[in-house]
Structure 1
Amino acid sequence: MVAAIEVYFDGAAQARLRRLWDAFEQAGIPSLREHTHRLHRPHLSFAVARRFDPQQVADAVSGLLPPEGVEVEFSSVGQFPGRVLWLGPVPHADLLARHDAVHRRLAEAGIEVDAVYRPGAWVPHCTVSQQVPWADLARAVGLCLDALPITASLRSAAVADHSRGLYRPIG
């Protein structure tokens, strides 16, 4: 999985999430800030695939975020296999409906996505670290809990394929 539809937060929420990444780095725990190419922004991934045609995806899902944004509140910490640590927003009806609409439009355009990001399987999350050492897990969770709650507004989106250096904003 390399390409994603990434949805970004308002400036204040981005700053808080970046401070959490900084706290990880200061504690010697890898964060998404320093992961791979160091170009990551705090985000929710609405869909992921091995490859996307950025223009085709942007055309298919354009206009799904209202100008005033979609409010979310991060209130939990979770972990995926492989030492991935994340913050979870409350999965409210508006968030899930917008995610569903993205996938409906992608399907109508014939765009395939990874099954774990489809409605009914998707776990909304903002990754903090993809490689928390086991010995640091309790400290990492504590740093996350100290940062919560975080209220954010989903303000913008892009098709990002970091392995190919592609970034296409979605209007």
Structure 2
Amino acid sequence: MVAALELYPDVDTTRRIRTLWRALEADGIPSLGSLHQKHRPHVSLAAAHRLDPHAVADALGDFPVGRGLSLDIDFVGQFVGRVLWLGITVTEELLAHHRAVHERLTAGGVEVWEHYRPGRWVPHCTISLRVPNPMMAPAVRRCLEYLPLRATVVGAALADHANDISHPL
């Protein structure tokens, strides 16, 4: 199980990423869109096996998580384990925002996975969690057809899809 503090892009970017998910599915490549129909395009700022939505909300207080951030989605990447993602160009504004969120979470006693902490985090939008090895190159090519994307963050939530939690922030 995974819980994450997710940033949600504007309607146009969301639509384009969902279109990419459908194109991959048509090519026989599983996407995040078909995993269990609860995911929406997002960028995770923090993640852990479990996150208490009330503890996260208390730690963040009135901090406007993600609101108005601009994201340049310019490249494709993959993590070990056949995870395919769209990469977000790192900016000082994005890193400062990420750092501020984590300072508040830490001060509130909220524990997150090490690889989401400042200095380790790779900003990305997951496209698939299980691309079959022979399909990775075609999947990357398909993703490149949809780039670049320019997005504005319009919302955020703590999401834990396995436990039906979506707590807007």
CA distance in 1, matches of 2:17, 2:74: 13
* Deviation of the 1:114 alpha carbon: 0.4
Q: How far off its partner does 1:63 sit?
A: 2.5
Matched with 2:16 is: 16
Alpha-carbon distance in 2 for matches of 1:16, 1:94: 24
What amino acid maps onto 2:24 in structure 1? F
2:2 equivalent to 1:2 = yes
Give matches, 1:119-158, under 5 Å: 119-158=118-157
Shift of 1:59: 2.5
Equivalent-residue separation in structure 1 for 2:48 and 2:95 (angstroms): 19
What displacement does 1:162 show? Answer: 1.1
Paired residues of 1:158 and 1:167 also in contact (CA < 8 A): yes
Instruction: Note if contact 2:83-2:131 (Cα within 8 Å) is conserved in structure 1.
Output: yes
Specify every segment of 5 or more residues in structure 1 that has no aligned partner in the other structure, as ranges: none
Question: For each residue in 1:90-126, what CA deviation from the matched residue of structure 2 results, as whole angstroms up to 9, or x when unmatched?
Answer: 1111111111111000000011110000000000000
Superposition TM-score, scaled by structure 2 size: 0.96
Distance across 1 between alignment mates of 2:124 and 2:71: 11
Partner Cα separation in structure 1 for residue 121 and residue 11 of structure 2: 25
Compute the TM-score of the two structures, normalised by the length of structure 1. Answer: 0.95
In the alignment of these two chains, the number of paired residues is 168
- Asked whether the 8 Å contact 2:66–2:153 carries over to 1, the reply is no
Q: Which runs of 5+ in 2 are unaligned?
A: none
Kindly provide the amino acid, as one letter, of the partner of residue 24 in structure 1.
L
- Secondary structure of 2:145's counterpart equals helix
Aligned CA-pair RMSD: 1.1
Match of 1:27 in 2: 27
Q: CA deviation at 1:66?
A: 6.5
**CA deviation string 1:113-146 (max 9, x = no partner):** 1000000000000000111111111110001111
Greater than 3 Å deviation, 4+ residue runs: none
In the TM superposition, what whole-angstrom CA distance separates every residue of 1:147-171 from its partner, at most 9, and x where no partner exists?
Answer: 100000111100011111111000x
User: Is 1:164 the counterpart of 2:163 in the alignment?
Assistant: yes
